[in-house]
Chain A
Amino acid sequence: MIKIVSFVKAFLLFTSLSLLGYSVSAGNPVPITVGSKAFTEGYLLGELVAQTIENSSSSKVARRFGMGGTGVLFEALRNGSIDLYPEYTGTIAEAILKDSSLQSISQIREALKSSDLIILDIFKFNNSYGLAVRRAYANKHHLKQISDLIPLAKEIRGGFSSEFMSRPDCYPGLVLNYGLDFAGNVRSMEHSLTYEALAKKEIDLTDIYTTDGKIRKLDLVVLKDDRHFFREYRAVLFAKQQFIDEHAEAMRALSDLGNRLDEATMTRLNAEVDVDKREFSSVVLDFISKKHITNLKAPSVLHRVLVRTHEHLWLVGVSLFFSILVGFPLGIIAYENRILEQAIILFSSIVQTIPSLALLCFLIPLFGIGDKPAMVAIFLYGLLPIVINTFVGFKTLDPKLIEVARALGLNRWERLVRIEIPLASQNILVGIKSSAIIGIGTSTLAALIGSGGYGVPIITGLAMNDMEIVLTGAIPATIMALLAHILFEMLSRVLVPRGLRITQ
């Protein structure tokens, strides 16, 4: 009994410590929550919106950047977990409204009318598909627009990303629309490699996103889509109508800034992050401060790691606490009851097979975004190791000893508490340890649904192809996993009865 009490005490202490820290760091009530997608332009636009709101109002801003895709963000916007995020008209039409006939901003606005959502046309650029060539090549062949390619089509060497090659609104449609006959000298390749191939003159023509920073770096010429074949992907602000009404001032400030964001400017900002490896928040700060004076200061690496560590510990600690609270009894029930055994083990195993991003997405409609769904996911993933190890720990107990305990006249509860749990304690602890380490790993994915932790720098860094940022999340996460391992080794010295340790 004493052992259990100290178990519980240790975890209560652990969680209350995290709780304490959390409540201290939590800011003023109801901040404005800005979401963003996990690629450079998404981060830049999100940060631009965040900083503008901070500058033009007294509201606090919570940044939920680098979230896992359109579905996650849209769901989060709809259920109020975020207030607004930058999106593209093409994506809204194709992925959200699922109606490719919607082209213009007004058409999309009309289609959204029945909902309480609205798009704000405050940015002045279109990040669509396009075709690009080297500047020297363009000059040599007098290329300005796509139709200029028609006479050249037979000799030009094209290299396109596989997505571009397969989407009907890309290559197949483009060829038909412009009557381009590339005569087979076109290759499909990984998008990140097309730029390099172009620079090395292995290919002459490739597909690009029209605001990609690499255009600037490699000095490419984007050919004008003179027949307006490519769908528009105008950047817009996606928000709830009510939110816009309540924050008119911030919206005016945003609109002033957005007016300055044309394709060339956006390309330059993207290049500053992707090519010059600058931090997106300071790129945005520079951009804004041409008009505004702000005192924003980027926090130091150490400070950021500490904040992330705190968030990560909170995520893992709370989830682990509940995994133990539920998994341990489930393991015992599985051992006690043959019918439930199958059900419990099957359930915990199935949970484990759900891909983590899918699980996170399922949880958004139920729990919104942020810490809550992340904790539920980590909790669910943490169940199996605890359930299985508890179950196995009990199942492999020496049946003779169990019988002796009954023969001595101990009742069910006494046998469980005094004999079976202590005898199975090593296995149970191994389960909890695995659960904690799995939790530390899974928590890095929580950033995809707007939660904090080490996942934030990992995802940001990956999106911007900046390994340094990735490592500020990956290294502490590894260290935390190692420390967890050591902690549990030490805990097992306290919690596993000495008599069991000396027999081995």
Chain B
Amino acid sequence: MTIELKEISKSYQGKEVIQKLSLTFSEGQTHVLLGSSGSGKSTLLRIIMGLIFPDCGTVLIDQHSMSPRLQPFLAQQIGYVPQDGGLFPHLTAEKNVTLVARTLKWSQSRIEERLRVLSEMVSIKAQLLSRYPSELSGGQRQRVAMIRGAFLDPQVMLLDEPLAALDPIFRKDLQLELKKIFSQLKKTVIFVTHDIGEAAFLGHSVILLRDGKVVQRGKFSEFLRSPVDPFVTEFIGAQRTLQDMELYD
């Protein structure tokens, strides 16, 4: 399943946050959307999921044009893992992850089987699933959110800075795990981050955004070897010293 953005633009109060942007996310790869805050990352993400609509241009999800009518259906084709997990506080972890499957009237056995497979994959203990989000740690919440995103077995997973709120040690572990999970799932992954190291570590291809435009797209090594623009070097350089170790090991 491919996701295609064709010449989309979006303005808020006269300010263009996305400018004539075209992007195609090819199947089976991990695409990292990289950019500082205000670069248009989250706007782009919300446009892909049909939470907001571009002023012009089209969004094609598996060849369907995103529309308010199709939104619930198309959104179900994309597994979404929001920042901080975005779990519903009134539901237990289990009810959170099975929510959409239950509205789709999946059988109980199918739900249970899917839950078992995914909990194993993200290595979360079954008894934690009966807890409410407020009774879980940040890392546990993020794992639960991963299960929820992957539950319907969507072909595309969309992760919005899933690790941003975690402390560095956990984060490193989870990055490793995520890489493993992504390769297991063989899904198209769109991963949003502002962390260069994370981008380099996880992304088959990296898309650097600035002011609503794509600055450069390609393998991370290309960003180092042949930056298209001084901004690319500057952006990568800003965090590199911190992340050097991780990058090259």
**A residues with CB within 8 A of B:** 400-401, 403-411, 414, 418-419, 422-423, 497-500, 502-503
Contact = CB atoms under 8 A, between A and B. Distances in A.
A411 B86 contact: no
A423 B135 contact: no
B132 A404 contact: no
Contact of B82 (A407, A409, A411): A407
B81 to A, nearest CB: 10
A411 B50 CA distance: 12
Contacts, number: 70
Nearest to A412: B72
A409 B133 CA distance: 21
A409 B75 contact: yes
Task: Determine the main DSSP class of A at the interface with B.
Answer: helix
B92 interface: yes
B71 A406 contact: yes
Interface of B: 46, 49-51, 71-76, 78, 80, 82, 86, 88-92, 99-100, 103, 132-135, 148
A401 B88 CA distance: 7
Contacts of A400: 82, 86
Given A400-B82, A418-B99, A502-B132, A407 B49 contact: yes
Contacts of A410: 72, 99-100, 103
A502 B51 CA distance: 30
A418 B134 contact: no
Nearest to B84: A400
28 contacts: A400-B86, A403-B82, A404-B80, A404-B88, A405-B88, A406-B49, A406-B72, A406-B75, A407-B51, A407-B80, A407-B82, A408-B76, A408-B99, A409-B71, A409-B74, A409-B75, A409-B100, A410-B72, A410-B103, A419-B88, A497-B91, A499-B88, A499-B89, A499-B90, A499-B134, A502-B134, A503-B89, A503-B134
B132 to A, nearest CB: 4
A106 B73 CA distance: 82
B49 to A, nearest CB: 5
A401 B86 CA distance: 6
Contacts of A503: 89, 132, 134
A426 to B, nearest CB: 10
Contact of A499 (B74, B75, B91, B103): B91
Nearest to B134: A503
A502 B76 CA distance: 30
A409 B74 CA distance: 7
A422 B91 CA distance: 9
B153 to A, nearest CB: 13
A422 B90 contact: yes
Contacts of A422: 90
Contacts of A409: 71-76, 100
A497 B88 CA distance: 11
Of A400, A414, A418, chain B has the most CB atoms within 10 Å of the CB of A418
